[in-house]
Amino acid sequence: MLKKGVTIVIDFKIYFYLFEPIIRHLISQNVQIFIVAPKSLRTDIKLTFQSERIKFINYEELKRRHKLRFIVHRICTILFTRNDFSYQFYKKRNQITKKATTVHSFLYKLSVFIPKVSNSRINEFLSFVSGLWFENPFPTREVMVGSLNSSPELLVAKGQTVTTVMESWDHAVKAPNGYKSDLFLGWNESLCEDWRCFQGDQNCRIFHPLKLRYAHEIYKGLPNKSKTVSNRRIKVLYPIAGTKKFSIDVLVQIERMIIQELIHLTELLDWDLCLKPRPNGLVGEFDYAKDFSHVSVGDVSHGSIVNPADYFFSDQENFDRFSILNDIDIVINAFTTFGLDSAVAGLPVLQLDLRYALGFESSSLIYNNYHIEKYLINKKNVIKPIGDTLLSYISDSKLDLFSMASDYSRELCEWLYLYPSSSDAINECINSVSFKETKR
């Protein structure tokens, strides 16, 4: 007999942030919740909720018990997925931007000789092969997971009803999800359509960008200090996407070039420049920029972590990381999700497209990623130098940068949201998920 309630898989800290408001809602509805989480996360989860409605399942033991299934699933993903699943997958398979491990490199070479499964059926195939003779390992039929999670081999058993919640907007196209979702909750209709197209799950529903909820619901309501300060220099923020700790070399090199151009551009315009490193990057990685008196560099808050997905922002940490925006007049963005955060926080965002800029030709390896090309740089109000440097293009042009940035932010926000808040989306969408008691 399966138990009444829902099992939620939280394999990294980013999924803890994703599911926190959903769990609070389920507790308020007296739903029994079983959380599958690593030991390192369980203490934080207990302290956050302190509810008898939550029971824990040993994540490490589950993964260990099904290690062979994990291996079969990963090998089949590499061998049977087509090269053209997505641009991101093509680059990874062909090691264009990052060299693979020895084992992965061997499997990539071997995959050339293996017949492939069509893109529309690859998740169905992976689910079938790795799900043979597999009983539901969870105590409930209903299972909720974040997109691009690290446990697809546990989501292919009979007797499961899987709801996948979009954690990040690029997850639809990075790789096959590896299982079939009965319901997918995406940020908006465009991203739901991407999920249908790439992952093959047809039951998709518009939900909410929970990843951006602090900027949208908390920060946006705070007074913007920059509006009350007069007679001061304009301050620009550039959020950095890459870090030598995790990122591909081409991204690290391109961003170093961008930073150098922005340093000289802001110096020429008599503006201040603030660089925001990745929160999980290397401490001191951009200290070279401090040699310029008009440049400041933000802190790295989670520099000690080993896995790029294994960090979580508490309310205080969110307050601290968004406080940097209080004195910012404009954000210049190239590749980061923080450009979305800044837009929904109400700041003008000047988006760069440097694919045709002098010296930045290799940036197409990043800009041509599906989600960036389709949703960040396909709009009117984008800075797009052609055969010119970024510095010359902006300094010599007569463009109204603030007007462009404001229009871009407004257009981005109109695309992002259906529901006015995460609580509205959760009340509407999560209540539609059934937690009925069922038999094996």
- From first CA to last CA, the distance across the chain in angstroms is 6
Distance CA 162, CA 178 (A): 12
State pLDDT tens for residues 339-358: 999 999 999 999 999 999 99
Give the DSSP per-residue string, 13-24.
HHHHHHHHHHHH
- 382: which 2 tokens? 């984008």
- 387: which 2 tokens? 């055969």
Q: How confident is the model at residue 224 (pLDDT cuts 50, 70, 90)?
A: low
Distance CA 142, CA 182 (A): 10
User: Does residue 304 have a pLDDT over 80?
Assistant: no
User: Does residue 438 have a pLDDT over 50?
Assistant: no
User: Does residue 436 have a pLDDT over 60?
Assistant: no
The residue-averaged pLDDT of 262-290 equals: 92
State pLDDT tens for residues 89-112: 999 888 888 888 899 999 999 999
User: Does residue 317 have a pLDDT over 80?
Assistant: no
User: Does residue 171 have a pLDDT over 90?
Assistant: yes
User: Does residue 433 have a pLDDT over 80?
Assistant: no
Looking at per-residue pLDDT, the higher value among 179 and 320 belongs to: 179
Looking at per-residue pLDDT, the higher value among 229 and 244 belongs to: 244
State pLDDT tens for residues 285-298: 999 999 999 999 98
Question: Considering Cα of 257, then 255, then 384, then 361, what sign does the dihedral take?
Answer: positive
Q: 214 to each of 194, 211, 310, 341, how far by Cα in Å?
A: 25, 8, 19, 8
Q: Which DSSP category does 309 fall into?
A: T
* Sheet architecture: strand order including 272-276: 295-297, 272-276, 235-239, 330-333, 349-352, 382-383
- 352: which 2 tokens? 């760069």
Q: What is the pLDDT of residue 310?
A: 65
Q: What is the pLDDT of residue 209?
A: 96
Percent of the chain residues past pLDDT 70, beyond the cut:
93
Q: What is the pLDDT of residue 227?
A: 46
Q: Where are the beta strands (DSSP E) in 194-266?
A: 204-206, 235-239
Q: What is the pLDDT of residue 274?
A: 97
Distance CA 87, CA 84 (A): 7
Distance CA 171, CA 173 (A): 5
Q: How confident is the model at residue 440 (pLDDT cuts 50, 70, 90)?
A: very low
Q: Walk me through the domains of the chain, giving residue ranges and CATH numbers.
A: 3-77+124-209+420-432 (3.40.50.11720), 215-416 (3.40.50)
- Which of 16-25, 69-78, 211-220, 335-344 is predicted least confidently? 211-220
Distance CA 133, CA 334 (A): 47
Q: Which DSSP category does 99 fall into?
A: P
Q: How confident is the model at residue 225 (pLDDT cuts 50, 70, 90)?
A: very low
Q: What is the pLDDT of residue 313?
A: 74
- Which of 5-19, 147-161, 387-401 is predicted least confidently? 387-401
Closest Cα partner for 93 from 101, 105, 80, 103? 105
Q: What is the pLDDT of residue 42?
A: 93
User: Does residue 316 have a pLDDT over 60?
Assistant: yes
Q: Which DSSP category does 2 fall into?
A: P
Q: 136 to each of 26, 288, 330, 391, how far by Cα in Å?
A: 22, 53, 50, 58
Residue 206 DSSP SS3: strand
Residue pair 78/46 in contact (Cβ under 8 Å)? The answer is no
Long-range CB contacts for residues 88-97, cutoff 8 Å, separation at least 24? 88/170, 88/173, 88/174, 88/175, 88/369, 88/370, 89/173, 89/174, 89/175, 91/365, 92/175, 96/365, 97/248, 97/249, 97/250, 97/251, 97/365
Residue pair 339/349 in contact (Cβ under 8 Å)? The answer is yes
Helical spans, DSSP H, in 247-299 = 249-269
Residue pair 195/175 in contact (Cβ under 8 Å)? The answer is no
Q: How confident is the model at residue 222 (pLDDT cuts 50, 70, 90)?
A: low
Q: What is the pLDDT of residue 336?
A: 92
User: Does residue 120 have a pLDDT over 50?
Assistant: yes
Q: Strand pairing partners for 266?
A: none
State pLDDT tens for residues 354-407: 999 999 999 999 999 999 999 999 988 999 999 999 999 988 877 899 999 999
Distance CA 103, CA 101 (A): 6
Distance CA 185, CA 71 (A): 28
The residue-averaged pLDDT of 24-35 equals: 95
Q: How confident is the model at residue 238 (pLDDT cuts 50, 70, 90)?
A: very high
Residue pair 403/2 in contact (Cβ under 8 Å)? The answer is no
Q: What is the pLDDT of residue 435?
A: 62
Distance CA 170, CA 417 (A): 16
Residue pair 4/129 in contact (Cβ under 8 Å)? The answer is no
Q: How confident is the model at residue 228 (pLDDT cuts 50, 70, 90)?
A: very low
Q: Strand pairing partners for 36?
A: 9, 57
Q: What is the pLDDT of residue 255?
A: 95
Q: What is the pTM of this model?
A: 0.91
Q: What is the pLDDT of residue 223?
A: 57
Q: What is the pLDDT of residue 229?
A: 45
